């Protein structure tokens, strides 16, 4: 098991880089267990991760500086086409994101960048039909997407999985 120290930068899968602010004992029932207090860089929020579960949740050190060039090269490599069925594609992407492996995450990014074309098609058609410049339509599309993502994240994971399974 990898132990992290206070002040160390770590990667928390699906949340990105954070810093271990402290390692503290918390009373859970009759047990006193050590927890990492992690400050997430993206949101400045605190997350408690039980030291015993750190590996299980995928907490890891960031890649080495030597791996940076590998990651950039990996981003420029071709990628396999995602599953045609969106449910399978969502499942594949979610599993890759959950691994916390930045090279798996980079593969998702390549696929999503490829799918980013869909964003352009939606914005350009709305702009043409609504007779508005794309720069006016784009923020409205962004806000709508942000609302969709917020609704999606508020649903419990099991409800999302069931929703995906039944095609909602």
Residues 123 and 137 sit within 8 Å (Cβ to Cβ): yes
97 and 119 housed in the same domain: yes
Contacts of 155 by beta carbon, 8 Å cutoff, 6+ apart = 163
87 and 36 housed in the same domain: no
Contacts of 45 by beta carbon, 8 Å cutoff, 6+ apart = 39
pLDDT tens sequence across 85-103? 888 999 999 999 888 899 9
pLDDT tens sequence across 35-74? 999 999 989 999 999 999 999 989 999 999 889 899 999 8
48 and 82 housed in the same domain: no
Residue 74 has which token pair? Answer: 């990996």
Asked whether residue 81 is domain-assigned, the answer is yes
Task: Provide the edge-to-edge strand list for the sheet that holds 31-40.
Answer: 9-12, 16-28, 31-40, 46-50
pLDDT (0 to 100) of residue 23 = 96
Residues 20 and 6 sit within 8 Å (Cβ to Cβ): yes
pLDDT (0 to 100) of residue 42 = 87
42 and 115 housed in the same domain: no
Mapped onto helix, strand or coil, the DSSP state of residue 115 is: helix
- Which residue segment(s) compose the domain that 82 sits in? 65-166
Half-sphere exposure (CA, 13 Å, Cβ side) for 162?
Answer: 5
CA nearest to 47, candidates 22, 72, 74:
22
73 and 44 housed in the same domain: no
Total tally of structural domains belonging to the chain: 2
Asked whether residue 58 is domain-assigned, the answer is no
- Compute how many other C-beta atoms are within 10 angstroms of the C-beta atom of residue 139: 9
CA distances from 15 to 18, 37, 57, 83, 100 (A): 8, 14, 12, 25, 9
13 and 78 housed in the same domain: no
48 and 74 housed in the same domain: no
77 and 136 housed in the same domain: yes
Mapped onto helix, strand or coil, the DSSP state of residue 149 is: helix
CA-CA distance, 161 to 96, in Å (whole number)?
16
Asked whether residue 60 is domain-assigned, the answer is no
Mapped onto helix, strand or coil, the DSSP state of residue 52 is: helix
Q: pTM of the prediction?
A: 0.65
Residue 92 has which token pair? Answer: 């594949």
pLDDT (0 to 100) of residue 168 = 46
Average of pLDDT values for 145-162? 72
Task: List the CATH number of the domain containing 41.
Answer: 2.40.10.170
Is the predicted pLDDT of residue 104 greater than 90, yes or no? Answer: yes
Asked whether residue 91 is domain-assigned, the answer is yes
């Amino acid at each position: 098991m990898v132990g992290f120290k206070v002040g160390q930068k770590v990667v928390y899968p699906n949340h990105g880089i954070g810093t271990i602010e402290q390692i503290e004992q918390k009373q859970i029932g009759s047990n006193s267990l050590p927890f990492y207090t992690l400050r997430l860089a993206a949101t400045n929020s605190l997350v408690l991760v039980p030291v015993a579960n750190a590996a299980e949740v995928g907490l890891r050190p960031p890649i080495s500086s030597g791996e940076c060039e590998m990651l950039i090269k990996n981003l420029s490599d071709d990628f396999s086409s995602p599953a045609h069925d969106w449910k399978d594609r969502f499942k594949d992407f979610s599993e890759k994101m959950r691994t916390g492996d930045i090279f798996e995450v980079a593969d998702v990014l390549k696929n999503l960048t490829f799918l980013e074309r869909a964003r352009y098609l939606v914005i350009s058609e709305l702009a043409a039909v609504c007779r508005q410049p794309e720069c006016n339509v784009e923020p409205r599309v962004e806000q709508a997407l942000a609302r969709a993502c917020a609704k999606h994240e508020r649903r419990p994971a099991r409800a999302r999985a069931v929703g995906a399974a039944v095609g909602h």
